[in-house]
């Protein structure tokens, strides 16, 4: 690889699905190659990546962040979860008040855990609006609500996001989706979001089927988004109609499989929700090796190895950092 932004060009031989997969993996395929970001180190371990624009602002807080040519390190004097969380929150709120980054306009007062891998203990927590400034791996939950219609065949429920949402307002999205916030397990989040977003009852939620995960690494003007989504399928009765309770959904619509394909390929669909729907369509045979000539590539781009990505990113090896740990 030559490390240029053209390392993975969107060539004409790509299908529309593969071009879409390159879009929601924009940083993994192109940004990562440039090696322009610095490793974000907490307790001697890389947990994220920091872009130059963020690094320059963090350097103004030397009591909290140690910035050197190869990494941005959270001050190791902060020894535990609470100290780290409190000091980072203080900096983030100051940057929010100064209106330095557009993503902080969406401050949620809802935090995500920061950890090396999903199975590890969290090192600190951070407001969800800020994690993209540090390239923190986020986790979410999605529910594919579908109906096996006697005439139309496989049909999928989609939601249109509220026009007042802080991110992706008015875009079409999966029937139910939500971030994995502090204090909530995967299944608890699935039930919580299902009840709030679509009025899924306890009886319906008993039929949730775990369908694995999808993962991708997206980049936008807001920041870096390495994301893993826990996916659930839920077959629904033909007479069930989702009803929103938290004012975050404009409306729901039940689409046939072909209509769903056209919807996700349109600019009206939330880019970072496409992997979940594409994965669903693959698992149900709608997208298959017969109609997608680059099928293996497409499947691979739904499962980026985020759990080991930072460990394998040679540009961000921690040997130069005096606080790094040996494995």
Domains of the chain in start order, with CATH, are 34-133 (3.30.750.160), 138-308 (3.90.79.10)
Report the pLDDT value the prediction gives residue 118, as an integer from 0 to 100.
Answer: 95
Q: Evaluate if residue 155 carries a pLDDT over 50.
A: yes
Q: Evaluate if residue 57 carries a pLDDT over 60.
A: yes
Per the CB < 8 A criterion, the answer to whether 172 and 263 are in contact is yes
- pLDDT 10s digits, 258-311: 999 999 999 999 999 999 999 999 999 999 999 999 999 999 999 999 999 987
How many Å apart are CA 249 and CA 63, to the nearest integer? Answer: 42
DSSP state of 11: -
Q: Residue 229's Cα: distance from chain center in Å?
A: 7
Q: Evaluate if residue 32 carries a pLDDT over 70.
A: yes
Q: Evaluate if residue 121 carries a pLDDT over 70.
A: yes
Report the pLDDT value the prediction gives residue 321, as an integer from 0 to 100.
Answer: 37
Banded model confidence at residue 327, pLDDT cuts 50, 70, 90: very low
Report the pLDDT value the prediction gives residue 105, as an integer from 0 to 100.
Answer: 94
Instruction: Output the six-digit token pair for 216.
Output: 């991708």
Report the pLDDT value the prediction gives residue 218, as an integer from 0 to 100.
Answer: 98
How many Å apart are CA 100 and CA 94, to the nearest integer? Answer: 9
Report the pLDDT value the prediction gives residue 116, as an integer from 0 to 100.
Answer: 87
Query: Which of 271, 282, 311 shows the shortest CA–CA distance to 161?
Result: 271
**What would the mean pLDDT of 175-196 be, rounded to a whole number?**
97
Per the CB < 8 A criterion, the answer to whether 198 and 192 are in contact is no
- pLDDT 10s digits, 197-239: 999 999 999 999 999 999 999 999 999 999 999 999 999 999 9
How many Å apart are CA 169 and CA 171, to the nearest integer? Answer: 6
Banded model confidence at residue 313, pLDDT cuts 50, 70, 90: low
How many Å apart are CA 254 and CA 185, to the nearest integer? Answer: 29
Average pLDDT across the chain, whole number = 91
Q: Residue 253's Cα: distance from chain center in Å?
A: 24
Report the pLDDT value the prediction gives residue 196, as an integer from 0 to 100.
Answer: 97
Q: Kindly tell me the burial class for residue 32, based on how many C-beta atoms sit within 10 Å of its own C-beta (0-12, 13-18, 19 or more).
A: buried
Banded model confidence at residue 13, pLDDT cuts 50, 70, 90: low
Banded model confidence at residue 19, pLDDT cuts 50, 70, 90: very high
Banded model confidence at residue 17, pLDDT cuts 50, 70, 90: very high
Q: Evaluate if residue 11 carries a pLDDT over 80.
A: no
Report the pLDDT value the prediction gives residue 2, as an integer from 0 to 100.
Answer: 35
- pLDDT 10s digits, 68-113: 999 999 999 999 999 999 999 999 999 999 999 999 999 989 999 9
Angle at 79 between CA 76 and CA 81, to 5 degrees: 115
Q: Evaluate if residue 10 carries a pLDDT over 70.
A: no
**What would the mean pLDDT of 37-47 be, rounded to a whole number?**
96
How many Å apart are CA 124 and CA 41, to the nearest integer? Answer: 12
């Amino acid at each position: 690889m030559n490390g240029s932004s053209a390392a993975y060009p969107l060539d004409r031989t790509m299908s529309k699905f593969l071009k879409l997969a390159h879009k929601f993996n924009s940083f993994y395929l192109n940004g990562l190659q440039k090696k322009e970001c610095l490793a974000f180190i907490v307790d001697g371990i890389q947990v994220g990546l920091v872009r130059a624009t963020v690094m320059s602002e963090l350097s103004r807080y030397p009591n909290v962040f140690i910035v050197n040519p190869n990494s941005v390190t959270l001050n190791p004097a902060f020894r535990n979860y609470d100290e780290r969380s409190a000091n980072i929150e203080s900096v983030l709120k100051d940057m929010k008040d100064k209106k330095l980054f557009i993503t902080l306009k969406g401050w949620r007062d809802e935090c995500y855990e920061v950890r090396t891998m999903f199975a590890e203990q969290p090192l600190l927590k951070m407001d969800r609006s800020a994690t993209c400034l540090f390239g923190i791996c986020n986790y979410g939950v999605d529910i594919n609500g579908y109906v096996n219609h006697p005439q139309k065949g496989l049909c999928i429920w989609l939601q249109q996001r509220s026009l007042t949402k802080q991110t992706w307002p008015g875009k079409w999205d999966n029937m139910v989706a939500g971030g994995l916030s502090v204090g909530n397990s995967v299944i608890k989040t699935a039930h919580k979001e299902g009840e709030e977003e679509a009025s899924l009852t306890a009886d319906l939620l008993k039929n949730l089927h775990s369908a694995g995960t999808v993962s991708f690494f997206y980049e936008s003007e807001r920041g870096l988004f390495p994301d893993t989504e826990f996916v659930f399928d839920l077959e629904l009765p033909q007479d069930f109609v989702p009803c929103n309770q938290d004012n975050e959904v404009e409306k729901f619509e039940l689409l046939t499989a072909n209509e769903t394909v056209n919807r996700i390929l349109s600019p009206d669909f939330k880019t970072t929700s496409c992997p979940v729907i594409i994965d669903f369509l693959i698992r149900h045979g709608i997208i298959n090796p017969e109609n997608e000539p680059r099928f293996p590539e497409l499947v691979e781009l739904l499962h980026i190895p985020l759990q080991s990505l930072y460990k394998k990113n040679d540009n961000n090896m921690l040997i130069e950092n005096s606080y790094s740990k040996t494995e």
